[in-house]
Amino acid sequence: MDFSQLNLNLTTFAGYEALIAIALGVFLCLFGYKLKRVAFVIIWFAIGYYLMSLVAPKMTSDPTWQQILPIAAGVVLGVLGFSLEKLCIFAVAAYAVSTTLIDTFLITDPLYIALAIAAGVIVGVIAVKLIKPVGIITTAFSGAKLITKYSIAELAIAHYPNFPIILLATAVIGMFFQFKSCKHLD
C-alpha cells in the first residue's frame, strides 16, 4: 500500500482532532467500563464539544470564539458527566444507540430519526437497570464509532460501504476485551 495517498493531514487542528478522537475511541472501546467515570467525562466532553461546534457559528462570527465555545461546553458537560453517574449512564446509552443507528444507516427521514431516538431512550432506561453489561456494550460501541468514523475519514474513503461491518467488528472486539477484563468488577 502506498501510504502517500492516505491523505493524513496533521498540520491542521482537524488532523489532530481525528487522532485524538481515534485515541479516545480506543480507550472507550477497550477500557470504557473499567474506568467508567473517566469514560463519562470523555463522552460528555465529546457531546458538549460536538453540539456547541454546531451552534457556535450561529452565536458568533469570531473564529477564536468558535473554537473556544465548543471546548468550554465540553468541559462543562464533562464535569457534569463525572458527577451525575446514573443520568450519564442513561444519556450515554441513549446517545450512543441513537447516533450509531442514525450514522450507520444514514437515516434522514424524521420518522426513522424519531424511532432511532426512541430506541436510544429504551436502551438508556435498560442501561440504568443493567449498568455493567450495558455500560460495556455502549462504551465499546461509542469507542468503535469514533475509531471507525475517524479512521475512515482520515483515510479519505468516501461512503465506505463496509462501515457497519467494521463498526460492529470493532465493537465486538471491544466488548469481548471488556467482558474478559472486567469480570472482577461489580
Burial class (CB in 10 A: 0-12, 13-18, 19+), 149: buried
Percent of the residues in the chain that have a pLDDT greater than 70, as a whole number = 86
The yes-or-no verdict on residue 31 having pLDDT over 50 is yes
Looking up cell 443507528 gives 101
- Arithmetic mean of pLDDT, 120-135: 88
CB-based contacts of 97, cutoff 8 Å, min separation 6 = 116, 119, 120, 123, 124, 138, 141
- Arithmetic mean of pLDDT, 161-171: 84
Q: What is the pLDDT of residue 70?
A: 92
| Cβ atoms within 10 Å, residue 128 | 14
Structural contact between residues 69 and 58, judged by C-beta atoms closer than 8 angstroms: no
- Arithmetic mean of pLDDT, 26-41: 84
- Arithmetic mean of pLDDT, 73-79: 90
Of the candidates 149, 170, 166, 167, the residue with the CA atom closest to the CA atom of residue 158 = 149
In the chain, the amino acid numbered 139 is: T
The yes-or-no verdict on residue 10 having pLDDT over 50 is no
The yes-or-no verdict on residue 175 having pLDDT over 70 is yes
Domain residues of the chain, as ranges?
A: 3-181
